[in-house]
Amino acid sequence: DGGITQSPKYLFRKEGQNVTLSCEQNLNHDAMYWYRQDPGQGLRLIYYSQIVNDFQKGDIAEGYSVSREKKESFPLTVTSAQKNPTAFYLCASSLTGGDGPYNEQFFGPGTRLTVL
Amino acid sequence: DAKTTQPPSMDCAEGRAANLPCNHSTISGNEYVYWYRQIHSQGPQYIIHGLKNNETNEMASLIITEDRKSSTLILPHATLRDTAVYYCIVRGYTNAGKSTFGDGTTLTVKP
């Protein structure tokens, strides 16, 4: 059963701690993305990766870091430098990082991070 | 990527067609229009996309104006399960897959 998974669904951390959110896909997609969503708002792009060992900053990358050592995995670390980390985090993948037909993004179920 | 403008909310009666508009007046020639929806606390779900021709699939129809500056997503027979936030985005080669999601339209289907 192909898809994109994120774990855990809910995550609680103390202020000042780094935390890593997992994102795995078995769709053989080249491109992967991380978004942040705050209540009542749309999605904002944090980082994206078009290919293994390469990634680019999105619109709100400050306080976050990523790695793309394997095609199927794109973990996101929320560092202590992120001033307001409590949010809903969504991971997505697409066939390629470019565009064209049939290049829609597939989203995971999300991780809700709460920093206490 | 071109920015999009959508009404913040819409209501629709169950069983009737839901027509969700989107303005993308700065769209460029190689940018596609994509529609997604997000049911509360879940990841967005792809619905449909198009370049310049009208498109239809099992979920919806997409009507793109001739000048491509606006589009309409049509859910032909809305059900209560179609209540969600609908996002219209445009994507093109120049931004290599970056997608900017606005605040979308909250569609409420009422019995």
Q: Which amino acid is at A72?
A: E
* A58 chain-B contacts, CB cut-off 8 A: 98
C-alpha distance from residue A115 to each of A11, A53, A76, A80 (Å) = 8, 29, 16, 10
CA separation for the pair B101, A83 (Å, rounded): 22
CB contact under 8 A, A50 and B42: no
CB contact under 8 A, B43 and A90: yes
C-alpha closest to that of A37 among B34, B55, B41, B52 = B41
CA pseudo-torsion sign A31, A3, A44, B1: positive
pLDDT digits (tens, 9 = 90+) for B9-63: 999 999 999 999 999 998 888 888 999 999 988 999 999 999 998 999 999 999 9
Please check whether residue A3 touches B, CB under 8 A: no
pLDDT digits (tens, 9 = 90+) for A23-40: 999 999 999 999 999 988
pLDDT at A89: 97
pLDDT at B58: 94
Q: Show the tokens assigned to B52.
A: 């310049």
CB contact under 8 A, B96 and A35: no
CB A93 within 8 A of CB B93: no
User: Phi/psi at B88 (nearest 5 deg)?
Assistant: -110, 125
Please check whether residue A13 touches B, CB under 8 A: no
* A113 chain-B contacts, CB cut-off 8 A: none
Confidence class for position A103, pLDDT limits 50, 70, 90: confident
